[in-house]
Amino acid sequence: MEMPLPIGWKPLHLERYDGTTDPDEHIDLYTTQVNLYTNQDAILCRVFRTSLKGAALNWYTQLPTESINNFGTLVRRFIAQYATSRPYHITSAALASLRQSDDEPLRTFMERFAAISVKIRNLKPEVALHAMLMALKPGPFVESLCREAPRDMDELRARAAGYIQMEEHSAFRDQVRGKSQAKPDNGHKDKMKVTNDRKFKKTASTSKGGDTTSTLP
């Protein structure tokens, strides 16, 4: 507590922890900001109380004197105290049950896979790659991956981009063709209208001529 703060030290710009949110996330945010000035263990311990409020600050002030010998000990005590505030973390098992549906576009599935995988802590790249290969539906893309296996997820995503473009181009082309086939034949209707108009005018003219012709007694 007697360790002087580094020159140019400014208050931390982070929301103070009250014990209701993820303690791991708070530690990550805290150490990231302090490390902009120093990584000294004593400074990390001294400044930590300024990142707390409410029940968490009350817990800190009630720690026994000289019970913390380094920042690692403080972190362990802090995490143990607020372990129940950790949110539910998705595990790699969520990827194992993931499957691309038969009518699901490749782009939609890749985005869905990415949204789940980023929530998994410490996800190993080889686990993600294996899960992706198992989840893809049979088709040209999977066949290309079987012929030449990707080295990592980056290569798989790069190769998927080409198939996504082809898939979307094909869907757009089918959509345009469908609209063309469903479009009414206005030319045929116009021809029928002209023909009907001519027949109507001819009939009307004949009828009118008959009315003006009379037989003398």
pLDDT, position 212:
45
Q: CA-CA distances (angstroms) from residue 204 to 36, 126, 193, 197, 212?
A: 96, 85, 16, 10, 13
Q: Where do we find the tokens 């998705």? A: 90
CATH number of the domain residue 175 falls in: 1.10.1200
| Mean pLDDT of all residues in 41-64 | 95
- The candidate with the shortest Cα–Cα distance to 107, out of 168, 173, 171, 172, is 168
Are 171 and 152 part of one and the same domain?
A: yes
Same domain, 43 and 105: no
Please say if the pLDDT value at position 66 is more than 70.
Answer: yes
| Core vs surface per residue 143-178: b (16+ CB within 10 A) or e | eebeeeebeebeebeeebeebbeebeeeeeeeeeee
- Count of alpha carbons within 13 angstroms of residue 51, beta-carbon side: 23
Whether residue 111 is found in the same domain as residue 132: yes
Q: How far apart are CA 167 and CA 129, in angstroms?
A: 22
76 torsion bin: left (phi>0), alpha (psi -120 to 50), beta (else): alpha
The whole-number pLDDT of residue 75 equals: 96
Mapping DSSP onto H, E and C, the string for 175-212 reads HHHHHHHHCCCHHHHHHHHHHHHHHHHHHHHHHHHHHH
pLDDT higher than 50, residue 217: no
| Integer Cα distance of 181 and 61 in angstroms | 76
Short-list 96, 163, 166, CA closest to 129: 96
> Is there a single domain that holds both residue 60 and residue 126?
no
Same structural domain, 34 and 68: yes
Instruction: Examine the pLDDT at 33 and tell me if it is beyond 90.
Output: yes
Confidence of residue 3 (pLDDT cuts 50, 70, 90): confident
Banded pLDDT at 199 (limits 50, 70, 90): low
Say which residue, 80 or 214, is predicted with more confidence.
Answer: 80
In a domain, 2, yes or no: no
Q: Do both 123 and 73 map to the same domain? A: no
Q: Pick from 34, 55, 85: which residue ends a domain? A: 85
Residue 17 · residue 52 · CB < 8 Å:
yes
Please check whether residue 53 lies inside any domain of the structure: yes
Are 60 and 116 members of one domain?
Answer: no
Which of these, 11, 73, 17, 70, lies nearest to 36 by C-alpha position?
11
DSSP category for residue 84? G
Domain of residue 73: give its range. Answer: 23-85
In which band, very low, low, confident or very high, does the pLDDT at 129 lie, cut at 50, 70 and 90?
Answer: very high
Contact at 8 Å (CB) between 101 and 75? no
Number of structural domains the chain divides into: 2
